[in-house]
Amino acid sequence: MQGHSQSASASSAYPSTSGNTSHRRSRARKANDSITFSQQSSPSVRNSFWFCSDFMVGAGMVVLQPATGKVLLLYEPRNDRWLLPKGRKDVDESLEQTALREAYEESGYRVEFLPLYLPTNAPLSPAGRVHGMRKCTEPFYASTLTWGNRNKQRPNDEVWPGDRGGEYITFWYIGQIPRDAVHEADTGMADEKEYQSHLLELDDACEKLRGCEMLQFSRMVKSAHELWLHTKEFEEKEAQADAAEQESMSLGA
């Protein structure tokens, strides 16, 4: 599996992409045609065009602890539900900054990105292609959520009518915390103060999300964990191959 171009060691569950391949437009399709993508994705949505008042953009994270293989989940006692860190992008903030900020505010941990080999469609820069395969921290999932009618309030408390709902588009990243990560209290917004952070084994984390009827998020957590394991396995094989090559060169010298 490969960051921007896939290696032969990848699991067949993740489709191969290449950073050196240009994705040319496929045959024209009708706007309402539905396409079935990989097993990790839901089918395509119809082509759409939204004005800024009708969508929100946010970022979320699946946070792993590589030293233990555990997954970080949030528990909200008030609604008895399990969550992943996620939130809206602020003005002038990048999606990457949003992901890190939300992870910190909601979990109380200083989270960093976890570079992995991803089957992403994001291409390598021309300068980066000479280095071949590389890990990256691109989003590994994107999700949409439709919200219904609501009233918006302006600063003068005047209600702004006409909001018939919209789409919440979230880009998901994979993050990490070290074995000795220190939890900080009181880092969240007012409605996040009661969030509890738990480091769980993969199966336990997935079961808790499924119990909250968050089947898609359970699959997403499992996918992040698998990507980490694939990267770890690939790097171990590369290290073994390098060691064997060095030993062979030493014997032949």
pLDDT tens digits, residue range 55-73? Answer: 999 999 999 999 999 999 9
Superfamily of domain 52-225: Nucleoside Triphosphate Pyrophosphohydrolase (3.90.79.10)
Indicate whether 17 pLDDT > 60.
Answer: no
- Assess contact for 132 and 219: CB atoms under 8 A: no
Predicted local confidence at residue 12, as pLDDT: 43
- d(Cα 157, Cα 23) in Å, to the nearest integer? 48
Indicate whether 207 pLDDT > 50.
Answer: yes
* For residues 142-166, average pLDDT: 73
4 or 147: whose pLDDT is higher? 147
Confidence label for 85 from pLDDT (cuts 50, 70 and 90)? very high
Could you list the beta-strand ranges (E) of 52-106. Answer: 55-65, 70-76, 81-83, 86-88
Indicate whether 1 pLDDT > 50.
Answer: no
The per-residue pLDDT of the chain, averaged, comes to 85
* For residues 141-167, average pLDDT: 75
99 or 43: whose pLDDT is higher? 99
Task: Give the residue from 228, 235, 185, 193 showing the smallest Cα distance to 71.
Answer: 228
* For residues 38-49, average pLDDT: 90
Indicate whether 128 pLDDT > 80.
Answer: no
In angstroms and rounded to an integer, the radius of gyration of the C-alpha atoms of the chain is 21
Handedness of CA 204, 104, 148, 216 (dihedral sign): negative
- d(Cα 36, Cα 18) in Å, to the nearest integer? 21
- From residue 173, alpha-carbon distances to 37, 58, 115, 116 in Å are 20, 11, 10, 11
